[in-house]
Structure 1
């Protein structure tokens, strides 16, 4: 494996690598954030020039939902002419050492490395093996906003929902994180590109290429629209940010207000929570087999899609451009937060909602 090497750990990361390959084949320079040209559907895709020499390494997670979606995304990538290597990087004794040994050579010879999650300990460990001359960071949800901000401020890489404690594990991994941060930063011998659909301020020395979901729009749809509304779930309960009872009350109220009939579950939402939502709200809980951007573009989809602050309030308006679907965002009220939630949570979530310029804002209460 040589040329361009991508590391992904989630279905959305793989989708955004596909979008990056498509965008780099079509455009030599970044486009302004507001440029979202409509494109006709292309139902019989053929491998394009952007996929030549691109290899995607799937550092497979352990949860079944993520693995299932990744398998389906990997097949779509292969149909586009991309080489996909499935790496069971977390299963079995010695998996980490075996993965590092197998990927050291390809990483050393890659002319460009595409990273799906710069906060991933696995990716950070891989980057300590070799410092690529060209780095591209593609979206892994709203984490891209925090990555860009931390890179600009010269801070260590910490996910926004973490409280920032320096426990024994963090202290052991601190040298890896510090070295990886340097290898993700632009320098005299390294260029760094951020490929994103989110509003980010480019850190000094980096370039931003806009992801307008042109591959998704050319590959799928336009969708058939239903009369009702759809709700989009979030894993804020599972990450310890939002109280589960408050979340259920909010979902119930939103479903009643907007006449929603379906609830699209996040792949990390627990079975117990989803069962409670189905029983207490009457919503049909849907576990998508692909990222929501693709599911929505294929359809059917509601004429209104309601979401809490998350990546989809930025990505769905792009993927559904020209379809007439309205995307609305419901902000997280301070009283919904758990007592031990990160002090940064409220501000970060408010920023995610507030910068979603193509959505309708909902006031809850």
Structure 2
């Protein structure tokens, strides 16, 4: 069983499954080779073609429902599933955010096409939803011989892990958080997200026994094997197997992309998580767009509507809200010859997904002056580490707007 709460987690479940199916030493098909697919999306939704990406006004917050693709009822497998034989059941613990839900719907369809069973759970649908979800999943979870998770920091996932009896536990990438997870696992500390500030709150104290039990499930031992499947640069803690994610499934199924002549900017949720000050962020985006001639801004699914409205209205950038994770969007194109980002997961994943395409991935470091007063004391060092450990990227300097 696999538990996912975000599109990126589901993408990496597909990558992990593809790696097991093809074998660790199997080479991915050459970009544009006979096994490559230009894009599977035109046939996903009852023959209704999808656009290469969706450009929407920044004040629109709801993802449009794909024609002919309603969500399955909570707790039910989609009747279109054709893959009971595949052995992997993906449980989507659906979030509230409409952009995330929209991307998850599309990723779930790709998972079905790849031969997996997808079960959609409205795990946050109301006061009684968590208990109902856990009760419904408990029998399946107790029988599962392997559990695959995307976010070991999630309280929901930690609670489910206390029920699991699986001897094999796999943690697939949830972005840069994987780096922090492995570091904390190695030293035996409690699991805390890198951008979180402060000590234990009341809810943390109540949940502490479950968090401690989940952490034991994530620690290898005589009766438990733990694997981390990641594109991030991590060192395996004792007893943990680290398997590299080279995005072989993505490269085999999408692309090669058509390239534009321009530069595309990639947005982050650093403002929304309270790490970076909004005005500093907007100034940096304006400076980078002018310096590098960027005209499009690929929004992170968690970016606020108000912030995107300012980027589109005040800075004049075209706001693109992708309907899939950026690795897939970039692979199918059209995409700029340069992709410019702040420190984030994509500076590690895009060079792998876009290998051989001629696209340059560049990153601009976060100036310490941009950090908010409430940012975690670890934030600056963590973000510097994200950039410093990335391979196959270019670093670009921040040019203050006053000097342009």
What is the TM-score when the length of structure 2 is the normalising length?
A: 0.85
Residue 99 of structure 1 pairs with residue 93 of structure 2: no
Residue 334 of structure 1 pairs with residue 372 of structure 2: no
Match of 1:112? 146
Residue 242 of structure 1 pairs with residue 271 of structure 2: no
Residue 42 of structure 1 pairs with residue 76 of structure 2: no
Deviation of residue 156 (structure 1)?
0.2
Deviation of residue 48 (structure 1)?
12
Match of 1:17? 13
Q: Which runs of 5+ in 1 are unaligned?
A: none
Residues 296 and 317 of structure 2 are in contact (CA less than 8 Å); yes or no, is this contact kept in structure 1?
yes
Match of 2:195? 161
Residues 22 and 48 of structure 1 are in contact (CA less than 8 Å); yes or no, is this contact kept in structure 2?
no
Structure 2 vs 1, CA of residues 236 and 24 (structure 1 numbering), >3 Å: closer, same or farther?
Answer: same
Query: Which deviates further from its counterpart, 6-15 or 355-364?
Result: 355-364
**Could you give the per-residue CA deviations for residues 284-332 of structure 1, whole angstroms, max 9, x where no partner exists?**
0100000000000010000000000000000001111100000001110
Residues 36 and 212 of structure 1 are in contact (CA less than 8 Å); yes or no, is this contact kept in structure 2?
no
Match of 2:100? 66
Residue 251 of structure 1 pairs with residue 245 of structure 2: no
Q: Secondary structure at the match of 1:204?
A: coil
Aligned CA RMSD, in angstroms, stands at 1.9
Residue 223 of structure 1 pairs with residue 257 of structure 2: yes
Partners in 2 of 1:347 and 1:37 — Cα distance? 38
Deviation of residue 25 (structure 1)?
1.3
Deviation of residue 126 (structure 1)?
0.5
Deviation of residue 28 (structure 1)?
4.4
Residues 30 and 252 of structure 2 are in contact (CA less than 8 Å); yes or no, is this contact kept in structure 1?
no
Residues 90 and 116 of structure 2 are in contact (CA less than 8 Å); yes or no, is this contact kept in structure 1?
yes
Residue 281 of structure 1 pairs with residue 319 of structure 2: no
Partners in 1 of 2:245 and 2:253 — Cα distance? 15
Q: Secondary structure at the match of 1:118?
A: coil
Partners in 1 of 2:117 and 2:275 — Cα distance? 37
Partners in 2 of 1:290 and 1:306 — Cα distance? 18
Q: Number of residues paired by the alignment?
A: 356
Q: Secondary structure at the match of 1:281?
A: coil
Q: Secondary structure at the match of 2:314?
A: helix
Residues 302 and 325 of structure 1 are in contact (CA less than 8 Å); yes or no, is this contact kept in structure 2?
yes
**Could you give the per-residue CA deviations for residues 243-286 of structure 1, whole angstroms, max 9, x where no partner exists?**
00000000000000000010000000000000001111111010
Partners in 2 of 1:284 and 1:214 — Cα distance? 31
Q: Return the structure number with greater relative CO, CA threshold 8 A, min gap 6.
A: 2
2:349 to 307, 311, 315: 315
Deviation of residue 38 (structure 1)?
4.4
Deviation of residue 344 (structure 1)?
0.4
Deviation of residue 24 (structure 1)?
1.1
Q: For residues 26-37 of structure 1, what are the structure 2 equivalents within 5 Å?
A: 26-28=22-24
Q: Secondary structure at the match of 1:352?
A: helix
What is the TM-score when the length of structure 1 is the normalising length?
A: 0.94
Q: Which runs of 5+ in 2 are unaligned?
A: 41-80, 400-404
Deviation of residue 131 (structure 1)?
3.5
Deviation of residue 185 (structure 1)?
0.9
